[in-house]
Structure 1
Amino acid sequence: MTIKKLAASVAAAALLASPALAEVDMSGKTIEWVIPFSETGGSAKWANFFAPLLSEELPGNPTVVVKFMPGAGSTKGANWFQEQEHEDGTLLFGTSGSTQFPYLLGDPRVRYEYSDWTPVMASGTGGVAYLNAEDGAKFDGSANNLKDIDFIYGSQGATRLDLVPLLAWEMLGMSVEPVFGIKGRGDGRLMFERGEATIDYQTSSGYLGGSMAMVNDGKAVPMMTWGALNEAGDIVRDPTFPDIPTFKEVCEATDGCETSGEAWDAWKAFFVAGFPVQKIAFLPAGTPDDVAETFSNAFDAVRNRPDFAEIAAKRVGKYEVFVGDGAKAATTTGTTVTDEAKNFVTNWLQEAYGVSLK
């Protein structure tokens, strides 16, 4: 689904929205916002950015505390959340593409169902891949000079959001050996900082909050972003990083890399599922409409703050934020891929990493 079509579906859903319900008072309450990753990654920075703003806009100004439940590439926390039921609006759960991808691929460890949850906010993000200074000096806008280098990459797992960079690097003809098992992308960045990894990627919030400092210090060189979607559904430069080329541009400049065909179509399908609607805030099953509307209205107030665009650009990037029925439509986009893309990726995972999802 293109951004234009997504916006149209959001507008249509808004026309069907129910009338305003009675305001919910959350005075004196503490809301736990559970993130199924470590405290060092992009999801942590995303939740920590929104949490105090949400507290300011919810009626009664409750305390919003971000807590972390890493494990199994986020499926541990998502499986836990699936068992939770609404009590009084004091539990919020945040997912990312690394939670969506196992669901999309039919990972047997997944025991959660997105349709059971109530999305109240969804936001897009981007991603930046970067190299260490030595290898970055060989990067000329193509991967041609990088194909003889053996790279090491700290990975959460090939069925997580990491499949987007891993497949991209393979399409470029690069040799990238993933070290699986890290609990969050922030842990991958720490491996890179210690010299244990020689290539890395971070979502926009993680890059802005951690990796950019290494670039500014000359210790890392940005290689490419995954890009963004324009209204026609084409990949264009990421608005947060307009000076960094997209994977599409690097692919077009690299011998043997194609921006058409099965591999490209599959990569783009999972990019669309994983990034334009990358992070989603959910209330648990059974949440009453008045509570869900209260959270949606609060997030709507957050995104309409006069200073929101400025502070968001510095912390999480320049991306669309969806609320209420818009968040529901966006969630559908982020949890849907074609059978062709799924089959290609499933076969690639088996061939490249011996990962079987059957």
Structure 2
Amino acid sequence: MTTLKSMRRTAQALLAGTATLALSTAAQAQDVDYTGETIEFVIPFSESGGSARWANFFAPLLSEALPGQPTVVVRYRPGAGSTTGANWFQDQDVVDGTVIFGTSGSTQFPYLLGDPRVRYEYNDWQVVLASGTGGVAYLPPDMAAMMDGLDATGLQDTDFIWGSQGATRLDLVANLAWEMLGMNVEPVFGIEGRGDGRLMFERGEANIDYQTSSAYLRSVVPMVEEGLAVPMMSWGALDGEGNIVRDPTFPDMPTFAEVCEATPACETEGPVWEAWRAFFIAGFPAQKMVFLPEGASPQVVETFAQAFDEVIARPDFQELAEATLGDYPQMTRGAAEAAFQLGTQVPQEARDYVVNWLEESYGVTLN
């Protein structure tokens, strides 16, 4: 049985196991040259969400850092909550580094849950960057006023609607959280990215939403400043001991754990809580990753690892990243491999709980 403890042990071992390979391929990576080339950075979402924001942030920096300074262009392949694009990448045989792929938790969750539409295998791909992130749920001002401090009981008699990418996508973290709080939130499934959910909120077609941190900073904070939205809670972050703590990008905002503790209908222990926590860990601390396909050579992989190392080491990177993506770790090499393990594994008991919950709540059958 896979447990969170064993997953952390595996991740720690991976941190120690990549240095030798990096040393052996570093010199050969100097022979890779992308002069005059175009690198396609493909993400399986629409142009309006956090993944687009993340990819477009890294694209010009990666262009400067790669040998030959190629043009890095972000391409969008949305559909089926990212499954369409991930299935497409699985079939790619372009192994020279001119095609890279960016995933998010909405790509990881169908894989974790055994969604029958999944034809991709994460273990076939080679990770070169892992980016942590967070998420923020928000409400219209009149509904936010129904909360009593952190206690969400006052929201339980309201009917909520929100735009969701799908029951098995990253949005299950939100759907399960709202159910735990005793809220009646009806998802409208089928949007192509979280940005489309935000647009539903802006048009008054939805009265609750959440966004990952980069999209929240760019597109929701202006609504908050105009008095059109009020943050309800963040999902939180993980500390070094695996505890859920306040998100460093939003340190003044309560976490879901705090709101849950303050709401009598919600519990921060037991199987429901452990299932939510496991999928939060899989979906957010390693929420976005960049991959090369299986056949890419060690030299190509090392070239991209060096390039992302150079990007992260830029003296202005932290300032740029905090303003655009938030204050989260950007990981390469062993750290990226460790994050990859956390993002593509969950304990069996958590998976079983969520599979049963999806069937009972949404009629989604995965077994």
Say yes or no: TM over 0.5. yes
Q: CA deviation at 1:9?
A: 3.8
Task: Assess if the C-alpha contact under 8 Å between 1:84 and 1:285 holds in 2.
Answer: no
For 1:218 and 1:5, the matched residues in 2 are separated by 46
Residue matched to 1:21: 27
For 1:62 and 1:142, the matched residues in 2 are separated by 52
Residue matched to 2:117: 109
Supply the AA of the counterpart residue of 1:184. G
CA 4–160 in structure 1, closer or farther in 2 if over 3 Å, else same = closer
Residue matched to 1:228: 237
Supply the AA of the counterpart residue of 1:239. P
CA 5–302 in structure 1, closer or farther in 2 if over 3 Å, else same = farther
Secondary structure of the residue aligned to 1:240 is: coil
Secondary structure of the residue aligned to 1:129 is: strand
Q: CA deviation at 1:136?
A: 1.3
Secondary structure of the residue aligned to 2:21 is: coil
Name the TM-score, length of structure 2 as normaliser. 0.95
Alignment of 1:86-125 (within 5 A): 86-125=94-133
Residue matched to 1:147: 156
1:307 corresponds, among 316, 328, 344, to 316
Supply the AA of the counterpart residue of 2:316. D
Task: Assess if the C-alpha contact under 8 Å between 2:198 and 2:209 holds in 1.
Answer: yes
For 1:120 and 1:17, the matched residues in 2 are separated by 14
Task: Assess if the C-alpha contact under 8 Å between 1:13 and 1:326 holds in 2.
Answer: no
Alignment gaps of 5+ in structure 1: none
Alignment of 1:193-342 (within 5 A): 193-342=202-351
For 1:9 and 1:87, the matched residues in 2 are separated by 27
Task: Assess if the C-alpha contact under 8 Å between 2:8 and 2:342 holds in 1.
Answer: no
Please provide the CA RMSD for this pair: 1.5
For 1:270 and 1:61, the matched residues in 2 are separated by 38
For 1:44 and 1:18, the matched residues in 2 are separated by 30
Task: Assess if the C-alpha contact under 8 Å between 1:35 and 1:66 holds in 2.
Answer: yes
Deviations 1:9-31 (A, max 9, x none): 45412443342232111111000
Question: Percent of counterpart pairs with the same letter?
Answer: 64
Secondary structure of the residue aligned to 2:120 is: coil
Supply the AA of the counterpart residue of 1:206. A
Secondary structure of the residue aligned to 1:121 is: strand
Q: CA deviation at 1:89?
A: 1.3
For 2:41 and 2:72, the matched residues in 1 are separated by 7
Deviations 1:224-256 (A, max 9, x none): 001001111110000000011000000000012
Q: Does 1:12 align with 2:16?
A: yes
Deviations 1:63-94 (A, max 9, x none): 00001000000000000000001342100100
**Stretch deviating more after TM superposition (137-146 or 64-73):** 137-146
Task: Assess if the C-alpha contact under 8 Å between 1:155 and 1:188 holds in 2.
Answer: yes
For 1:95 and 1:251, the matched residues in 2 are separated by 29
Residue matched to 1:54: 62
Alignment gaps of 5+ in structure 2: none
Task: Assess if the C-alpha contact under 8 Å between 1:119 and 1:282 holds in 2.
Answer: yes
For 1:21 and 1:263, the matched residues in 2 are separated by 50
For 1:62 and 1:6, the matched residues in 2 are separated by 36
